[in-house]
Structure 1
């Protein structure tokens, strides 16, 4: 799915930057940008938006007042506040905001907000279609910042994940990408998509495992196209069983 997003900020440079980042996100299909909160009201009341990213401090009608109006709609869009001030957070969540992002906006922080929006929108659509919400897929790509540029690493390209303090390193066939995110959080999102914990500091994509090897001290290594990954003894048996089941279903080596 692609999100339809409205971005509202009365400061043109800030609006341009937010719009640029939203357009670069893989979850977003369409972005409408408005600098006038009153015009934003008309657009939002007309419907058609999945989410609205709102500045708070705006003349005429601030973001909190705008969100309050939207909360009265039968099907309000998901609201994310984007502001330079953190003192409004309690009020923001009080009017039903999905997230609260501080300026200057970091790519990984915006990606996290979009993940929350995506989860909410997909759950609502799944409910309307009679689909069990737990089947909703989220965080299919992660934002990566390097040398002032933002790119996106798709989950299907990741062979294994390595914990590195407050970051995770995404190992692909074409390189390693670092993202600020706890390993436990990423595991929560990706464990139902074929990623398995095989060590305290590693997740591996089952489809990426070519074979299991022994290391020089009798341990086990999972061989992938991006390198070998250590497998702890407590996870080795479970990994073998899951690989066997995946092989029987034809899911390995794709």
Structure 2
């Protein structure tokens, strides 16, 4: 995984001397290096600049006239959810009491003044690592299933900084877990970015949607039974409340089956015997 060697930075602080000192500290950082593209004295000035430009990192004071740094970070997070891109945020402030709220806003780090160069360097390294991981996940999501390179195709999965190529023939199922997907083979469970709705059209006829949260390889379906909802991870109000479940070959796990998919699962089982 490549780590960016030069971070593009926007400095946001209402004190010119604080911005000057931060520039000096950044000039001494070498791994990764950082380049200040612009400065802003208020959150409004920063937002105006960010509407026209992009950067990797916003070094952001908390307490400023007008909208404060926390409000700007919240706006940046909302923007990132809309267009898929937002710079990393590192707060730089003399007030440590806002740290918990800062991390709730997904800040990469929180530095207290006076900032030491070694601490700033560590924050930059964390930003570079997070950007590299984000880029790897986006690359994986953009070309998740690469048909034709191997029989049956492969799928790219980023796992703790490694880019793995998993043959689709080895995949037993994909399951949605909160914001991520779990890819299950007979020997490992891998966490990957993406959604089942994006993945399903790329997998073809070899995979079957058994539930809103699961895609299963038809060849991995071994039996269909009625199960108590608690046995398959479903609550009584869920789509699988009738208790249908499939047993997955190789791992002896049960996955919930929604009522509307029971017939399709039966058909897949009948097809294995033909």
What is the TM-score with the length of structure 1 in the denominator?
Answer: 0.50
Structure 1 residues 139-163: Cα deviation after superposition (integer angstroms, max 9, x where no partner): xxxxxxxxxxxxxxxxxxxxxxxxx
Structural mapping, 1:170-209, within 5 Å:
none
Structure 1 residues 206-240: Cα deviation after superposition (integer angstroms, max 9, x where no partner): xxxxxxxxxxxxxxxxxxxxxxxxxxxxxxxxxxx
SS of aligned partner of 2:78? coil
The answer as to whether partners of 2:26 and 2:34 remain within 8 angstroms in 1 is no
Structural mapping, 1:97-246, within 5 Å:
97-130=107-140, 132=158, 134-135=161-162
Aligned-pair distance for 1:34?
1.8
Aligned-pair distance for 1:61?
1.3
The answer as to whether partners of 1:82 and 1:101 remain within 8 angstroms in 2 is yes
Structure 2 residue corresponding to 1:21, chosen from 15, 22, 25? 25
Give the Cα–Cα distance (whole angstroms) in 2 for the partners of residues 70 and 43 of structure 1.
12
Aligned-pair distance for 1:111?
1.0
1:70 to 2:76 alignment: yes
| Aligned residue in 1 for 2:52 | 46
The answer as to whether partners of 1:54 and 1:80 remain within 8 angstroms in 2 is yes
Aligned-pair distance for 1:96?
1.0
Q: How many residues align?
A: 136
Give the Cα–Cα distance (whole angstroms) in 2 for the partners of residues 135 and 19 of structure 1.
34
Q: Which moved more, 1:89-98 or 1:122-131?
A: 122-131
Structure 1 residues 87-141: Cα deviation after superposition (integer angstroms, max 9, x where no partner): 11111111111110000000111011111101111111222333845259xxxxx
| Aligned residue in 2 for 1:90 | 100
Give the Cα–Cα distance (whole angstroms) in 1 for the partners of residues 10 and 28 of structure 2.
14
Structure 2: any 5+ residue segments left out of the alignment? 141-155, 164-274
The answer as to whether partners of 2:29 and 2:117 remain within 8 angstroms in 1 is no
Aligned-pair distance for 1:44?
2.0
Aligned-pair distance for 1:69?
0.4
Aligned-pair distance for 1:19?
1.7
The structure having more radius of gyration, on CA atoms, is 2
Give the Cα–Cα distance (whole angstroms) in 2 for the partners of residues 114 and 99 of structure 1.
9
Aligned-pair distance for 1:47?
4.1
Give the Cα–Cα distance (whole angstroms) in 2 for the partners of residues 56 and 29 of structure 1.
21
Structure 1 residue corresponding to 2:61, chosen from 45, 55, 61? 55
The answer as to whether partners of 1:5 and 1:28 remain within 8 angstroms in 2 is no
Structure 1: any 5+ residue segments left out of the alignment? 137-254
